[in-house]
Structure formats: C-alpha cells, structure tokens
C-alpha cells in the first residue's frame, strides 16, 4: 500500500492585493507544515505544477525552500513555470528548454512526472517525445509494480469555464499510450485549482486542489475564481489491487 500526498499550484511570487507574495508563501508553508507534522510516513508528495507564478529564478529559490520536506517531494512544471530556471535552480541542472520529464522509482511504485507545459502558452500538450518516453518507461524495468502518472494540465473538460479552454489538448494520443500499460493505477494533475475527481482512458484522474485559490463552478456564482477558500491537499492511498482512494484535507490558512 502506498500513501501519496498531492498538492498543486502554489504559485510562489503571486502578488495578491499588493502583499508582495506573502499570502502564497504563507499558504504553501502551512500545507507543507501539515505534511511534515503527520506522525506517519508518506511515500511521496506530488506537486503538480505552477510552482512559481512568473517562472523567475528568485521564485524557484523560494520554491526550493518551501517544498523542502522530510518526505520525498516530486514535481512537474505548469504553465506558469519556465523550464530553464526550473532546471537550474530547482533541479540543479544545466538550463534547457526540453520538456522536464522525470521517472522516480519509489520502493512500491514508479512515479512518472510529465511536462505538459507549452512555453509561453496557458494550455497544455504532452509532446510526441514525452509520450514516447512515457511509453518506453512504462514498458521497461519494474513492470510488476504500479505506475502513477502525473502532469499539470487535465486532459478532459472539468466543466469549469475558467479552465476548460486551457486544458491539455491532443489527449487521444495520451489515452492510446495509457491503454497499452495496465500497470498504470491512476493519473494526477493540477492547474484546475479545485479538488475534483473524474476519469480518463478508463483510469481515475485526480485533480489537486489549489493552494493559492479555488476555481468554482458556474452554479457557485462569482467570477469563477475564489481567493476565500482555504488551501487544501489530497491524500491518495493506492492498495495492493492498484485501487486509488482519495481523501481531501483542508489546511488553516492562518
């Protein structure tokens, strides 16, 4: 059994009502403090993109500090991130504009963190090289273990007017790859800033709540994005049958 925490869209550097980015930093620190204070272990913490609000090197220095944890923290970029400073500051690698795709081998599962960002665009796409890489990694190595696949942009409509036009496109290609690999237990994404669950390619698609804001449904009124909801996170439990059960937790913003 695996227990995975999942948060997203911490947007460090986001200025809210002229606060110099304080609110985003404070909320992110609260969420990470919640996880660090858990008495039990976590197998990993997934952070599915929009780590920095403007993709600046100084923002990634803050990201590195805020996301440092006693748990293994696995990240992927979102549309607000920039690949070169992400690589240099967060990963300690040479700068480069290729997609930032990473395989993490946990003791009980492979976790594939994919880059669905398109430089200078808000919508998303897993490019052909990323999908080929995913296909090859799922087919190789520890095929007896479950695989978890994460990216920033949801590949389906979530019925959110704010997010649906900037979702992940070209998703039929992703579905084709996923259907070839029954070891994939579930899919994880961010970008939508709302705790949501749906399906894609016959798999659970679990959307992380946003830390800095919450995107709302038309029936909830307002302008489609709320800064009043508290930050949240998800805890996913993957059992021996590769069934994923998700629990959401609210964290006090103060």
Instruction: Please give the residue ranges that form the binding site for Fe ion (CB under 5 A).
Output: 9, 50, 78-79, 191
Burial 173-210 (b: 16+ CB within 10 A, else e): bbeebbeeeebbbbbbbbbbbbbbeeebbebbbbbbbb
Question: Which helix (H) or strand (E) is 23 found in, with range?
Answer: helix 22-36
Nearer to Fe ion, 9 or 110 (CB): 9
Nearest distance, CB of residue 52 and Fe ion, angstroms:
11
Nearest distance, CB of residue 124 and Fe ion, angstroms:
8
Nearer to Fe ion, 123 or 137 (CB): 123
Between the CA of residue 61 and those of 20, 175, 243, what are the distances in Å? 16, 35, 36
Query: Can you tell me the distance from the alpha carbon of 126 to that of 134, in angstroms, rounded to the nearest whole number?
Result: 10
Nearest distance, CB of residue 3 and Fe ion, angstroms:
25
Nearer to Fe ion, 188 or 238 (CB): 188
Nearest distance, CB of residue 140 and Fe ion, angstroms:
30
Q: Which residue is listed with tokens 């052909």?
A: 128
Backbone dihedral region of 9: left (phi > 0), alpha (psi from -120 to 50 degrees) or beta?
Answer: left
Nearer to Fe ion, 55 or 78 (CB): 78
Nearest distance, CB of residue 5 and Fe ion, angstroms:
18
Nearer to Fe ion, 43 or 216 (CB): 216
Q: Three-class SS of residue 109?
A: strand
């Amino acid at each position: 059994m695996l227990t995975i925490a999942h948060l997203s869209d911490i947007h460090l550097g986001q200025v809210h009502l002229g606060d110099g980015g304080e609110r985003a930093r404070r909320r992110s620190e609260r969420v990470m403090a919640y996880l660090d204070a858990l008495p039990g272990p976590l197998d990993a913490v997934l952070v599915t993109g929009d780590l920095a609000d403007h993709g600046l090197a100084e923002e990634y220095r803050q990201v590195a500090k805020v996301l440092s944890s006693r748990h293994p923290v696995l990240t992927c970029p979102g549309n607000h991130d920039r690949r070169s400073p992400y690589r240099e500051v967060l990963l300690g690698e040479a700068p480069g504009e290729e997609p930032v795709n990473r395989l993490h081998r946990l003791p009980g599962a492979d976790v594939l963190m994919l880059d669905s960002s398109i430089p200078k665009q808000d919508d998303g796409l897993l490019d052909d090289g990323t999908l080929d890489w995913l296909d090859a990694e799922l087919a190789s190595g520890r095929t007896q273990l479950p695989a978890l696949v994460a990216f920033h942009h949801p590949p389906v409509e979530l019925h959110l007017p704010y997010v649906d036009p900037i979702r992940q496109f070209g998703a039929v290609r992703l579905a084709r790859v996923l259907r070839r690999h029954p070891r994939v237990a579930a899919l994880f994404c961010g970008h939508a800033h709302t705790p949501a669950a749906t399906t894609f390619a016959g798999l659970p698609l679990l959307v992380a709540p946003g830390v800095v804001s919450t995107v709302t449904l038309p029936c909830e009124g307002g302008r489609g994005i709320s800064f009043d909801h508290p930050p949240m996170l998800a805890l996913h439990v993957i059992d021996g049958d590769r069934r994923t059960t998700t629990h959401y937790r609210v964290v006090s913003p103060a």
